[in-house]
Amino acid sequence: MDTVSFTKMEDGTKEEYTFLDPLYFQCREGIPEMLLALLKQMQGDRLGYQIDRYQHSLQTATRADRDGSDEETIVCALLHDIGDVLAPDNHSQAAAAILQPYISERNYWIIKHHGLFQGYYYFHHANKDRNARDRFKDHPHYQACVDFCHRWDQCSFDPNYDTMPLEHFEPMVRRVISEPWNHFD
Ligand SMILES: [Fe+2]
Ligand SMILES: [Fe+2]
């Protein structure tokens, strides 16, 4: 079989879907490189900050690394803002959704909510509630998300910080973003 014969999904047979399944797996080839490319797209425009979002991402990951974090957490720190490229209005949720198959539920939750939690540091300057994150106060990952923002994210806009280069993190990205294991229900 080279191709299926159906033109409507409802007409496909079990044999055809068995044939298609491993071929679709090829879509996953190159995902680490595409995520790294997304990261690199954030180079250049600093959008008024002292460093661009690529350097911000590297700096966030560097701080996570120097705090002795596990590899998955370091990769999450590196990629937490990749949603910015395609979804600036819901970048936290977008990044979390992309990374979800490869990461723990805890890291998924942290990335998904980091934008709101980061708001603690500036929402009050925009007439918004800086404590909006408090509604998650009883969530088991609340403190981890607070710590992510405080220790790594909100402080990583520093042009004078000794940030590690992307080459340090690339092998980690390729190891973490390999086999999906945390599937959607
Ligand atoms: Fe962010
Ligand atoms: Fe960030």
For residue 182, report the distance from its CA to the centre of ligand 1, in Å.
23
Q: Which ligand is nearest to the CA of 89?
A: 1
Residue 82 · residue 58 · CB < 8 Å? no
For residue 64, report the distance from its CA to the centre of ligand 2, in Å.
12
Residue 64 · residue 74 · CB < 8 Å? yes
Q: Report which secondary-structure segment, H or E, holds 20.
A: helix 14-25
| 3-state secondary structure at position 185 | coil
For residue 84, report the distance from its CA to the centre of ligand 1, in Å.
7
- Rounded percentage of the chain residues whose pLDDT exceeds 90: 91
Residue range 95-154, pLDDT digits in tens: 999 999 999 999 999 999 999 999 999 999 999 999 999 999 999 999 999 999 999 999
The per-residue pLDDT for 179 is 81
For residue 150, report the distance from its CA to the centre of ligand 1, in Å.
12
The per-residue pLDDT for 180 is 84
The per-residue pLDDT for 183 is 67
What residue segments make up the domains of the chain, in order of their start? Answer: 30-176
Using CA of residue 14, residue 19, residue 21, residue 27, what is the dihedral sign?
Answer: negative
Tokens of 130: 């800086």
Instruction: Name every residue whose Cβ is closer than 8 Å to that of residue 94 and which is 6 or more positions away in sequence.
Output: 82, 83, 86, 87
For residue 138, report the distance from its CA to the centre of ligand 2, in Å.
24
Q: What is the mean pLDDT of the chain?
A: 96
Residue 28 · residue 35 · CB < 8 Å? no
pLDDT band at 76 (very low <50, low <70, confident <90, very high): very high
Position 25 pLDDT exceeds 90: no
Say which range, 26-30, 79-83, 90-94, has the weakest mean pLDDT.
26-30
This prediction's pTM: 0.94
Q: DSSP string spanning 90-151?
A: SHHHHHHHHHGGGS-HHHHHHHHHHHHHHGGGTGGGGTS-TTGGGGGTTSTTHHHHHHIIII
- Rounded percentage of the chain residues whose pLDDT exceeds 70: 98
The per-residue pLDDT for 28 is 85
Ion ligand 2: residues, CB < 5 A: 81, 153
The per-residue pLDDT for 184 is 58
Residue range 160-183, pLDDT digits in tens: 999 999 999 999 999 999 888 876
For residue 81, report the distance from its CA to the centre of ligand 2, in Å.
5
For residue 95, report the distance from its CA to the centre of ligand 1, in Å.
9
For residue 114, report the distance from its CA to the centre of ligand 1, in Å.
6
The per-residue pLDDT for 96 is 98
For residue 24, report the distance from its CA to the centre of ligand 2, in Å.
32
Position 27 pLDDT exceeds 90: no
Q: Characterize 101-139 residue by residue with b for buried, 16 or more Cβ atoms within 10 angstroms of its Cβ, and e for exposed.
A: bbbbeebbbbbbbbbbbbbbeebeeeeeeeeebeebeee
User: What size, in residues, is the chain?
Assistant: 185
Neighbours of 149 (CB within 10 A): 24
For residue 180, report the distance from its CA to the centre of ligand 2, in Å.
24
**Fold for the domain defined by 30-176:** Hypothetical protein af1432 (1.10.3210)
